[in-house]
Amino acid sequence: MKIATYCVALAAMFLCGVSLASAAPIDHMPVLSLLGNHVDLVTAMGLMLPLNTRARGLVGVRADSSNAAKILAELQKTFEDFKSEREAELKGIEAKFADVVQTEKVDRINSEITKLQTALDEVNAALAAVKVGGGGDDKPLSAEKREHATAFNRFFRKGAENGLRELEVKAALRTDSDPDGGYVVPDQMESTIDRVLGTVSAMRSISRVMSISAGTYKKLVNQGGAVGGWVGERQARPETGTPQLVELSFPAMELYANPAATQTLLDDSRVSIEQWLADEVSITFAEMEGAAYIGGDGVNKPRGLLSYDTVADASYAWGKLGYIASGVAAALTDSTHNGADALTDLVYAIKQGYRQGGRFLMNRKSQAVIRKLKSKTEELYLWQPSIQVGQPATLLGYPITDDDNMPDIGAGKFPIAFGDFQRGYLIVDRMGVRVLRDPFTNKPYVHFYTTKRVGGGVQNFEALKLLKIATS
């Protein structure tokens, strides 16, 4: 009810009260004229309804003073009762509105909390992998792969197969049919293992890595483009030479690890299987792979960078790695020779297109020697520390990768390599890490015989050069 309505009603009663108190006769027309269009509002308020016949005498022709006082008291009481009821009703409405607002706020807060909790759950799910340098696959899994992952988790913990072989086929996780070779790990677990290896293994972090579905990856390399020439409008166009293609083959060899865990550990649902397996096998895989990528002979293992034939860069030929001599028989530098010259020659031994992605590869002892080298004229160190967290130190403006599988500086050794490893060296991963559960060999431990097929080798001999410790 608007305040104006209350004011009109009060004004009417006030005038009536004055007239009644004076005991003067009062006609109903002035009162009704004063109320005007608000009479219906007053009636709606209930001011007229409870009045008795004498009260209605206000709108009659005559009324005595004693009756008028009683009628005024009744009007005032009726109005006060109505006002109290409406105020209580208004307070109830305000309380209801307040409840609605409060409820909306609570619902909105709960919604935000739910969203936040969902995000936290997703982060926590990947946190274990992040701690060891890995992570899950961002791509959503199909229903078949989720079903396989659930079944594999039961198999890993309890040894219950539950049709796991059929689920692998259904989830398209394998193409062979080896019934005794264990089971293929879920995509998330394989991705975690691969990413951990990429963090731990220096060569994996700088080389090109390719997943293959066959046992061997083959590629054709053009050793020389088609020969062409310039001709005039009417000159003859004789036949030109054709490109020479060379086939490179990268077979995937088997690598294994055999971590063990107690059944009590496996029964603990809080243990992340992905984290545990990645943490256990990553060090073994990384150490064995890293050594093979540098010095492997290609027999049942990848072919390493230093296993290829080498030749002085002036006599470079495809299929061999060119090298630059240090100029000192058994050291990088001596009192009469500064190794900075040899390093500069090494950088510019490869073509400009490869230098854009170039980097140095050496072990920590070679870095200790390099850090002491200075330019001849300005006495400035060639080695420059990183000025940004996460960025490697640089040598002659190019980043340095530390790999302890590279040999130390010594006579006839190749302690330093330089080039674009993304284009120069290829690592192939046969899709599918397999796990064979063995609870019998070493009780009370459960062994997980984990195998992976991997290969590697030089794919572009122009993109990589070596530094040889020799006079020529």
| CA distances, 311 to each of 24, 222, 472 (Å) | 135, 21, 11
How far is Cα 430 from Cα 445, in angstroms, rounded to an integer?
29
Mean pLDDT throughout 131-142? 48
Query: What is the predicted pLDDT for the residue at 71?
Result: 64
**Quick check: 264 pLDDT over 70?**
yes
For residue 341, give the DSSP letter: H
For residue 249, give the DSSP letter: E
- Give strand pairing partners of 402: 362
Residues 6+ apart with CB under 8 A from 298: 304, 307, 457
Are residues 59 and 205 both part of a single domain? no
Residues 146, 149, 154, 159, CA torsion sign:
positive
Query: What is the predicted pLDDT for the residue at 54?
Result: 41
Q: Which helix (H) or strand (E) holds 325?
A: strand 321-325
* Residue 189, both tokens: 């677990």
Are residues 320 and 467 both part of a single domain? yes
**Quick check: 341 pLDDT over 70?**
yes
Mean pLDDT throughout 421-449? 89
For residue 297, give the DSSP letter: B
Query: What is the predicted pLDDT for the residue at 128?
Result: 42
Residues 6+ apart with CB under 8 A from 183: 152, 155, 164, 165, 168, 434, 435, 436
Mean pLDDT throughout 122-143? 50
The answer to whether 231 and 313 are in contact (CB under 8 A) is no
SS3 112: helix
Instruction: Read off the pLDDT of residues 401-432 as tens digits, 9 standing for 90 and up.
Output: 999 999 999 999 999 999 999 999 999 998 77
What dihedral do alpha carbons 308, 309, 313, 316 form, nearest 10°?
-100
Query: What is the predicted pLDDT for the residue at 35?
Result: 44
Select the more confidently predicted residue: 408 or 187.
408
- Cα of first residue to Cα of last residue in the chain, in angstroms, is 107
Query: What is the predicted pLDDT for the residue at 160?
Result: 63
Residue 153 lies in a domain: no
For residue 307, give the DSSP letter: G
Instruction: Read off the pLDDT of residues 194-244 as tens digits, 9 standing for 90 and up.
Output: 777 877 889 999 999 998 888 899 888 776 656 678 888 888 888 777 767
State which of 49, 82, 98 marks the end of a domain. Answer: 98
Query: What is the predicted pLDDT for the residue at 463?
Result: 94
The answer to whether 305 and 417 are in contact (CB under 8 A) is yes
Select the more confidently predicted residue: 142 or 250.
250
Q: Which domain holds residue 210?
A: 196-223+243-472
| CA distances, 383 to each of 88, 333, 362, 399 (Å) | 84, 15, 13, 10
Mean pLDDT throughout 449-461? 93
**Quick check: 33 pLDDT over 50?**
no
Residue 106 lies in a domain: no
The DSSP bridge pattern shows strands 253-257 and 445-458 to be antiparallel
Helix/strand/coil percent split, the chain, to 5: 45, 20, 35
Query: What is the predicted pLDDT for the residue at 426?
Result: 95
Residue 428 lies in a domain: yes
Exposure on the CB side of residue 448, measured as CA atoms within 13 A:
28
pTM for the structure as a whole: 0.62
State which of 98, 128, 161 marks the end of a domain. Answer: 98
Exposure on the CB side of residue 469, measured as CA atoms within 13 A:
17
Mean pLDDT throughout 110-127? 59
DSSP assignments along 378-402, one per residue: T--BSEE--SSTTPPPEETTEEEEE
Are residues 54 and 201 both part of a single domain? no
Are residues 426 and 300 both part of a single domain? yes
Select the more confidently predicted residue: 256 or 387.
256
Instruction: Read off the pLDDT of residues 72-85 as tens digits, 9 standing for 90 and up.
Output: 667 667 767 766 77
114 band by pLDDT with thresholds 50, 70 and 90: low
374 band by pLDDT with thresholds 50, 70 and 90: confident
Instruction: Read off the pLDDT of residues 283-298 as tens digits, 9 standing for 90 and up.
Output: 888 889 999 999 999 9
Residue 408 lies in a domain: yes
Q: How many domains does the chain have?
A: 2
**Quick check: 167 pLDDT over 60?**
no
How far is Cα 225 from Cα 169, in angstroms, rounded to an integer?
44
Are residues 342 and 216 both part of a single domain? yes
Mean pLDDT throughout 449-470? 94
Residue 53 lies in a domain: yes
* Residue 277, both tokens: 């397996």
The DSSP bridge pattern shows strands 216-224 and 253-257 to be unpaired
State which of 71, 98, 125 marks the end of a domain. Answer: 98
Q: Cis link prior to 444 (omega < 30° from 0)?
A: yes
Query: What is the predicted pLDDT for the residue at 278?
Result: 80
Are residues 83 and 204 both part of a single domain? no
How far is Cα 19 from Cα 457, in angstroms, rounded to an integer?
117
The answer to whether 452 and 436 are in contact (CB under 8 A) is no
Q: How does the average pLDDT of the chain come out, rounded?
A: 74
Residue 165 lies in a domain: no
Mean pLDDT throughout 340-349? 92
Query: What is the predicted pLDDT for the residue at 116?
Result: 63
The DSSP bridge pattern shows strands 394-395 and 253-257 to be unpaired
- Give strand pairing partners of 434: 184, 451
Query: What is the predicted pLDDT for the residue at 304?
Result: 96
CATH number at 315 reads 3.90.1690
Provide the b/e sequence for 54-63 (b: ≥16 CB within 10 Å).
Answer: ebebbbeeeb
Residue 328 lies in a domain: yes
SS3 367: helix
Exposure on the CB side of residue 383, measured as CA atoms within 13 A:
15
Instruction: Read off the pLDDT of residues 36-71 as tens digits, 9 standing for 90 and up.
Output: 444 444 444 444 444 444 444 444 444 454 555 666
Are residues 362 and 215 both part of a single domain? yes
Are residues 200 and 90 both part of a single domain? no
| CA distances, 226 to each of 111, 242, 246, 460 (Å) | 66, 5, 14, 19
Query: What is the predicted pLDDT for the residue at 141?
Result: 58
Residue 186 lies in a domain: no
- The distance between the two most distant Cα atoms of the chain, rounded to a whole number of Å, is 139
Are residues 208 and 320 both part of a single domain? yes
| CA distances, 448 to each of 5, 195, 213, 358 (Å) | 87, 20, 23, 40
Query: What is the predicted pLDDT for the residue at 83?
Result: 66
Highest mean pLDDT among 50-54, 98-102, 147-151, 323-327: 323-327
Are residues 67 and 207 both part of a single domain? no
Residues 336, 337, 339: CA angle, nearest 5 degrees: 155
Residues in the chain: 472
